[in-house]
Chains A and B, each alone.
Chain A
Amino acid sequence: MATALMTAPPEISWVDRLRAEGAEGQAAVAELHALLLKAARFEIGRRGAQLPHLRGGDQEDLAQQAADDALMAILRKLDEFRGESRFTTWAYKFALLEAAVKVRKRAWQGREIPLEDEAWSALADAGAPAGRGAEDAELFAALREEIERLGERQREVLVAVALNGVPIDVLAERLGSTRGALYKNLHDARRNLRAALASRGLRVGTGGEEEA
């Protein structure tokens, strides 16, 4: 019983062990790296379809890089672990993020980022008559006009991410920005579009569903 009381909870124990000097700390870091590598392989494996040209050895390199980068991030941010989840769940998210970003960037490597033209055909396809032709056409026309009225950065981000399906972290790298900053641009663009449509008497609800 005394042993049980003196043993730190596993989540706290992880943090203590990672901070320990010498062999104990090194062993904890190695154990954590193995978990991060497992998570990175998991992520890269499920995204294999995005990287058809990547050989198995290259995928393993990508997983190793993701695990290394995640480990560095985690060791920098150990103080931020609040114990609100298992330590491994907290740590996995870093490895999954690093792996996902690497896959998305690799998948878009050398590809031009479509910022304008392709978007209009996507909107045109979406606006094709489908039982409510006149109302759809009105909404489509208004939306297209209002997108053109957005500020340059808001329009650029909205078109690339929402219409052309460009991953936001890929776009952030190309534009020399961050995912968070670009999502703010996207959020502001959406808010402005909703307000503009509302001022035209075109009401849309949450989640993209038109209100009755």
Chain B
Amino acid sequence: MKPDVLGRVLGPGEPELTCEQCFEELDRYVELSVAGDPADARVPGMRAHLDGCPACAEDFASLRDLVTQEGD
């Protein structure tokens, strides 16, 4: 079975934030990511949630790209 489909169905399979917690931490996580800091270590559970939640992953990508664009 293709891993991407299996991944979408079964999710990350590790502790993750909720959508609400993800939104609360999103700005901090994005700035850490853009700065090259260890965002995943500083915000545990965020990476797993972004792997499991397509909507939050889109929100993350948009904020990261906007902040990156502003920094250019």
Q: Which of A's residues lie within 8 Å of B, judged by CB?
A: 39, 42-43, 46, 84-86, 88-90, 92-93, 96-97, 100, 104, 122-123, 126-127, 130, 136, 139-140, 143, 147, 158, 161-163, 165, 167-169, 179-180, 183-184, 186-187, 190, 193-194, 197, 204-210
Query: Would you mind naming 27 contact pairs between A and B with Cβ atoms under 8 Å apart?
Result: A46-B62, A84-B28, A85-B27, A88-B70, A96-B59, A100-B58, A104-B55, A123-B5, A123-B9, A126-B1, A126-B2, A136-B1, A139-B1, A161-B54, A162-B8, A162-B11, A163-B5, A165-B54, A179-B55, A180-B18, A183-B19, A184-B18, A190-B9, A193-B10, A194-B10, A208-B6, A208-B7
Q: Please, what's the 1-or-0 string for B1-43, where 1 marks a CB less than 8 Å from any CB in chain A?
A: 1111111111111101011100100111011000000000000
Q: How many residues on the B side are at the interface (Cβ–Cβ under 8 A)?
A: 38
Q: Please, what's the 1-or-0 string for B45-61, where 1 marks a CB less than 8 Å from any CB in chain A?
A: 00000011111001100
Contact residues of A: prevailing secondary structure = helix
| Chain B residue at smallest Cβ distance from A165 | B54
**3 tightest Cβ-Cβ pairs between the two chains A and B:** A208-B7, A126-B5, A190-B11
